[in-house]
Amino acid sequence: MVPDALQFFVTGTDTGVGKTQVSCALLSLLKDAGHQPQGFKPYESGCASLKAPSDALAMREAAGSTLPVEAICPHRFKAPLAPGIAAARLGTEPDFRVTLAAWKRLKGGAVVV
């Protein structure tokens, strides 16, 4: 059995390499094992809709989560660029305090980032 405080960090280079699919698979496996996992995608770019970021919503669905999208993905950008570059083009920088506050809402349970 996986402890509830276990946290996974999925990373890869470039877009479209399968990070979201792997994250969703892990979340689904954790849920099927009886845990209440949460997905956390603090930055998502290339969003067709800022209110409905597709990767974050896919992770939420895989986890069976009811958290609001702002808790799962606090920083969203339309430009299909690295989030830091997308933010810079808007003349802003994502506030890490917002990211940290969203992370703390997860309360240390099983999380896939």
Q: How far lies 107's CA from each of 7, 70, 101, 112, in Å?
A: 11, 15, 11, 13
Report the alpha-carbon distance of residue 81 to residue 65 in Å, rounded.
Answer: 27
Q: Token pair for residue 1?
A: 């059995």
Query: From the candidates 41, 78, 104, 107, which is the catalytic residue?
Result: 41
107 is catalytic: no
Closest to 72 measured CA to CA, from 52, 42, 30: 42
Active centre residues (catalytic)? 41
